[in-house]
Amino acid sequence: ALEQLPLSIEVNGKMQQVNVEPRVTLLDFLREQLQLTGTKKGCDHGQCGACTVHVDGKRVNSCLSLAVMHQGKKITTIEGLANGDELHPMQEAFIKHDGFQCGYCTPGQIMSAVACINEGHANSKDEIREFMSGNICRCGAYPNIVDAIADVKNGGQKA
How many residues lie near ligand FES (CB under 6 A)? 23
**Residue choice 11, 54, 60, 61 for contact with ligand FES (CB under 6 A):** 61
Q: Which is nearer to ligand FES, 5 or 104 (CB)?
A: 104
Residue from the set 11, 48, 122, 132 that interacts with ligand FES by CB under 6 A = 48
Shortest spacing between CB 59 and ligand FES, in angstroms: 11
CB 128 within 8 A of CB 114: no
Of 19 and 138, nearer to ligand FES (C-beta) is: 138
H/E run at residue 34: none
What span, in angstroms and rounded, lies between the C-alpha atoms of 4 and 13?
24
DSSP per-residue string spanning 92-107: HHHHHTT--SS-SSHH
CA–CA gap between residue 157 and residue 74 (Å, rounded): 26
Least distance (Å) between residue 26 CB and ligand FES: 10
* Residue 43 touches ligand FES, criterion: CB under 6 A: yes
C-alpha to C-alpha distance for 137 and 6, rounded to whole angstroms: 36
Which chain residues interact with ligand FES by CB under 6 A?
41-44, 46-51, 61, 63, 100-106, 137-139, 141
